[in-house]
A and B are shown apart, each in its own frame.
Chain A
Amino acid sequence: MKNPFNFDIAELKKASCEIRRKVLNMNYKAGQGHTGADLSEADILASLYFHMLKYDKDAPKHADRDRFILSKGHGVGGYYCTLAQAGLIAEELLDTYLLFDSKLPGHPVRQKIPFIEVNTGALGHGLPIGVGLALAAKKMKKEYMTYVLTGDGELQEGSNWEAAMAASQYGLDNLVWIVDRNRLQLADFTENINALEPLDKKIESFGMELYVIDGNNPEEIVSTLTSLPKNGRPKAVIAQTTKGKGVSFIESQPAWHHKIPNAEELKQAMEELSC
């Protein structure tokens, strides 16, 4: 099994730009959404879906597919737009975002979209589930990888650290935990609320093999994820990102955690995002 796109870096950059345009249009139309989070993760999601993840577009539940869990479920807007960009959901579905009984509710629901592995949105759930998936793969002698994307504010939830301990204990080198380190959470900067730093030391001390990269640079994302050694140690990647990446007036602004652009802001954002 392989990635159905295998995009090169230029193509990945174009894909993440298209995802960002979709996010802004979709959130503008819905009148709601987590715009900042959707934008910060776009390069990570593009790199995963258009290069890293091995899956079959026509068989979403193929037993050998790589698993991806969006633990930061509020980043679902970026996720849906990635799935649409990859043709895994119909583009028109984006117009139904948040509507009554839509296939695209405000957090991922696996019963709605076959490519979604598990329902997330309550924070601190993805990593333990990822541990279970990776452990199941080991036990069943499956080759698939499990990728979990958490936020950074989310790491204030203790359940992540329960799972990190367990991942090391079980030697899950088929588990990759990516942290979207945009340094912002709902109320303020993470460091002003309940500081995460030194995050690298914390993660390493739980036994994970750690990589710190520019999470808005597909080249770094892909080169890191493609060279992870199978050495009995679970992997963690601190992807340093900019919340709201790609639109000057949204970047690193706490207010844009779930703010929606008005017509004029949308126009300006589209001008900045020429793909």
Chain B
Amino acid sequence: MLDYSKAKDLREVMVATFNAAVEEGKNLAVLVSDSTSTAKIGPFKEKYPERLINVGIAEQSLVGTAAGMALGGFIAITTNAAPFLVHRANEQVKNDVCYSNTNVKMMGLNAGVCYGPLASTHHAIDDVSIMRGFGNVQIFAPSDGIEAAGIIRYALEHEGPVYVRMDAAKFPQMHEDSHPFEPGKIDILKSGSDITIFAMGSTAHEAMAAGLELAEAGIDAEIVNVSSIRPFDVKGTTVSLVKTGKAITVEEHSVHGGIGSLISETIADQGLGCRLKRLGFEEGKFAVSGPRDEMRAFIGIDVKGIVQAAKDMVKQ
């Protein structure tokens, strides 16, 4: 099912998409805050050195300068580690980009706990909650290279602020080469009728593997990849929730404000009598650190944890 032969680092896809966009005539400027290696920006730098701005280790300046360049006519793209974008430059993101509605694309690199062992300063497990609190900005989280390319192509076309929650690892391809990314649509990876498992970003891979394992145990899970967080597909989500009446959310993110909250809100707003278990970082677990796979297991968003949560819910 999963095509490991086409495993791609999302950042390499990102940079290739930037290069292609310039070739097509788009007026891009890519800004880094000394984060050239974080962004794997080499191939862009090589081809378009005049379009790459390194502001140094100065994230507030990174975002403010990007807003200024966007006002000056560029599609301005920030590429740095998510914690230093959404936390360090939070007020610039809020005012200079979101509320000023400037044409800035913010790539939140190595989000979640990609930097697992480096501890909480380097984790971004609240980036989606923070971004969801701001006006104007659209929010996406790709699950594989195909989706990353689609999201970034869309972001460069869309006039206005975009936040892309990017992962650092290499992921097998979950989508056909021709898969069209559609903003505001959920992406059903596997249809099912017993329970819906919603996953954000790279946890879609765990959710998919869990779905296959659950099938062997006689549980028919619907696996939904939530890559478009804003705009969000209320209608498609509702259809799935009505069908299964049971849901689990999976995210390498705080359970507050991410897709767990998003699905809770949908259940409440639509008046659905639906059970829900949110998997992610809960109170008491925010400051753990260590290898990423062990952290995922610790908060139950690995395959084993998802399978167990689904079995428990179906049993009840």
Docked-complex contact A128 and B74, CB < 8 angstroms? no
Q: How far is the CB of A93 from chain B (nearest CB, A)?
A: 21
Whether A158 is near chain B, meaning CB under 8 Å from some CB there, is yes
Closest to B70 in A: A132
Docked-complex contact B71 and A129, CB < 8 angstroms? yes
Bound: A162/B54 CA distance, A: 12
Which of A119, A134, A166 has a CB less than 8 Å from the CB of B56?
A: A166
Whether A111 is near chain B, meaning CB under 8 Å from some CB there, is yes
Closest to A132 in B: B68
Q: How far is the CB of B74 from chain A (nearest CB, A)?
A: 6
Q: How far is the CB of A139 from chain B (nearest CB, A)?
A: 7
In this complex, how many residues of chain B approach chain A with their Cβ under 8 Å: the count is 30
A-facing mask of B53-88, CB < 8 A → 1, else 0?
101101011011111111111101000000000000
Closest to B68 in A: A132
Docked-complex contact B99 and A119, CB < 8 angstroms? yes
Whether A131 is near chain B, meaning CB under 8 Å from some CB there, is yes
Which of B53, B72, B95 has a CB less than 8 Å from the CB of A125?
A: B95
Docked-complex contact A129 and B74, CB < 8 angstroms? no
Docked-complex contact B58 and A132, CB < 8 angstroms? no
- Contacts A111-B101, A122-B91 hold; do A159 and B71 have CB atoms under 8 A apart? no
Interface of chain A residues 99 through 147 with chain B (CB within 8 A): 109-111, 117-122, 124-125, 127-137, 139-140, 142
Whether A90 is near chain B, meaning CB under 8 Å from some CB there, is no
- Contacts A132-B66, A136-B73, A140-B73 hold; do A110 and B61 have CB atoms under 8 A apart? no
Contacts of B50 in A (CB 8 A): 139
Whether B240 is near chain A, meaning CB under 8 Å from some CB there, is no
- Contacts A118-B100, A163-B65 hold; do A133 and B95 have CB atoms under 8 A apart? no
Docked-complex contact B64 and A136, CB < 8 angstroms? no
Interface of chain B residues 81 through 116 with chain A (CB within 8 A): 91-92, 95-96, 99-102
Docked-complex contact A133 and B60, CB < 8 angstroms? no
* Interface contact tally, CB-CB below 8 A: 108
Which of A67, A121, A129, A162 has a CB less than 8 Å from the CB of B55?
A: A162
Interface of B is mostly: helix
Contacts of A134 in B (CB 8 A): 68
Which of A111, A117, A122 has a CB less than 8 Å from the CB of B71?
A: A117
B63, B71, B72, most chain A CB atoms within 10 A: B72
Docked-complex contact B95 and A119, CB < 8 angstroms? yes
Contacts of A117 in B (CB 8 A): 71
Docked-complex contact A125 and B91, CB < 8 angstroms? yes
Bound: A229/B236 CA distance, A: 60
Closest to B101 in A: A111
Contacts of A132 in B (CB 8 A): 64-72, 76
Q: How far is the CB of B51 from chain A (nearest CB, A)?
A: 8
Whether A165 is near chain B, meaning CB under 8 Å from some CB there, is yes
Docked-complex contact A129 and B65, CB < 8 angstroms? yes
Docked-complex contact A166 and B61, CB < 8 angstroms? yes
Contacts of B55 in A (CB 8 A): 162, 166
Closest to A164 in B: B61
Docked-complex contact B58 and A140, CB < 8 angstroms? no
Docked-complex contact B64 and A129, CB < 8 angstroms? yes
Interface of chain A residues 150 through 204 with chain B (CB within 8 A): 158-159, 162-163, 165-166, 169
Whether A10 is near chain B, meaning CB under 8 Å from some CB there, is no
Docked-complex contact B64 and A159, CB < 8 angstroms? yes
Contacts of B301 in A (CB 8 A): none
Contacts of A109 in B (CB 8 A): 99
- Contacts A124-B60, A125-B96 hold; do A136 and B53 have CB atoms under 8 A apart? no
Contacts A/B (CB < 8 Å), 20 sampled: A117-B71, A124-B60, A125-B95, A128-B60, A128-B61, A128-B63, A131-B68, A132-B65, A132-B70, A132-B76, A133-B69, A135-B65, A136-B68, A136-B73, A137-B72, A139-B29, A139-B51, A162-B58, A162-B60, A166-B61
**With A119-B100, A132-B71 already in contact, 8 other A-B pairs whose C-beta atoms are closer than 8 Å:** A118-B71, A129-B64, A129-B67, A129-B71, A136-B68, A136-B69, A139-B74, A162-B56
Closest 8 CB pairs of A and B: A132-B68, A136-B72, A128-B64, A162-B61, A162-B58, A132-B65, A129-B68, A159-B60
B residues with CB within 8 A of A: 29, 50-51, 53, 55-56, 58, 60-61, 63-74, 76, 91-92, 95-96, 99-102
